[in-house]
Amino acid sequence: MNSLVATSRNFRQAARILGLDSKLEKSLLIPFREIKVECSIPRDDGSLASFVGFRVQHDNARGPMKGGIRYHPEVDLDEVNALAQLMTWKTAVVDIPYGGAKGGIGCSPRDLTKSELERLTRVFTQKIHDLIGTHTDVPAPDMGTNAQTMAWILDEYSKFHGHSPAVVTGKPIDLGGSLGREAATGRGVVFATDALLGDYGKSIQGLTFAIQGFGNVGSWAAKLIHESGGKIVAIGDVSGTIRNPNGLDIHQLLKHKAEGGVLKDFTGGDAMDPDELLVHECDVLIPCALGGVLNREKMLPVKAKYIIEAANHPTDPEADEVKILSKKGVVVLPDIYANAGGVTVSYFEWVQNIQGFMWHEEKVNSELQRYMKTAFRNIKDMCMSHGCNLRMGAFTLGVSRVARATLLRGWEA
């Protein structure tokens, strides 16, 4: 089941639980606008290269559309559509005044020089600048893009519309980026984990964790869990997987990585089979990397009591449907809430840019914690009201908020 089918299925299930009118349900599912553009650039060697860029703007009932731009060879319209729709529900779950959007260019960033990436970004911005904007659609970094990419978009957009720092988020600090943004998704994962564990009378301190993925999200989550007294017994990324039953020293591991080392060469842990990470003995499993990793085969031997979905769609939807994990008593905190810290702090950055007044990092972090804790309580209320699991609690919360906004605005007029 691909990501678009999975997201639409979750939406329809939430719509049934909420008893939405069939016409409204159909209206909420259809994207507001789909954009496909051709981006041709001269390569450094003088040859011409062409790429296809996408921007899907899903819904703007609750505010400007919001979502990342990814550079990846497998970017296609279905994937971008699914992620744009997911952003609509995600922003509603954490109650920030946005709708959903997503974009991307089908390219391999590793195969392009920095100057080629800049030219590609500027051409893409030229093609879509009339369709994005501070109060229309606000892009952000995603897979294969970063703060520098946002700086190029800001500069190119400003050539047409004047200085507009709030047109993108995830910018460099020197161009109006927010303090705390780099750590935001990982920090949000930790706040979400803490809220879930607190609901079961537990805390991060003293529990064991296994983390799949040691990029931005995984490394920040690992660092903050370690500092909160959690014991990370296994961690892995594309370079290898390591374990230490006594707990890995995350500060030393981060230092090792910063010096150019890879996980498998870290002396503070033993190498292990990457396939064993998801079924490793631990209290909490946090997939931070790829989608679809928890399939039927992997779910059955899972030993964790809690799964925190820091990646998008880490749980295979077909396997999720069979309720393998819930039958085992495993509690799954869904991606639509668990990884919403990034877009929440993007909202804070947007607010700061519009106000022209920047916050200190302590305020960013405390506001993020407040938003994540409030969202969890609201999800639990939906679970109680509708007798559903956390995934459907989050989806019904998000969908109901978008549906109410749509009805209030007069969708049939």
Distance between CA 382 and CA 376 in Å, rounded? 10
Given a contact cutoff of 8 angstroms between Cβ atoms, the answer to whether 409 and 34 are in contact is no
What one-character DSSP code corresponds to residue 276? G
Q: Which of 102, 223, 231, 298 is catalytic?
A: 102
Q: Cβ neighbours of residue 71 under 8 Å, at least 6 residues apart?
A: 104, 105, 107, 108, 109, 117, 143, 144, 145, 149
Given a contact cutoff of 8 angstroms between Cβ atoms, the answer to whether 62 and 405 are in contact is yes
Given a contact cutoff of 8 angstroms between Cβ atoms, the answer to whether 186 and 217 are in contact is yes
Active site annotation includes 373 = no
Sheet architecture: strand order including 48-57 = 33-42, 48-57, 99-105, 65-71, 137-141
185 appears as a binding residue in the annotation: yes
Sheet architecture: strand order including 240-243 = 270-271, 240-243, 231-237, 208-212, 284-287, 306-308, 331-333
264 appears as a binding residue in the annotation: no
346 appears as a binding residue in the annotation: yes
164 appears as a binding residue in the annotation: no
Given a contact cutoff of 8 angstroms between Cβ atoms, the answer to whether 203 and 251 are in contact is no
Given a contact cutoff of 8 angstroms between Cβ atoms, the answer to whether 300 and 332 are in contact is no
90 appears as a binding residue in the annotation: yes
Active site amino acids: 102
Residues making up the annotated binding site for substrate are 66, 90, 346
Residues making up the annotated binding site are 66, 90, 185, 216, 346
Residues making up the annotated binding site for NAD(+) are 185, 216
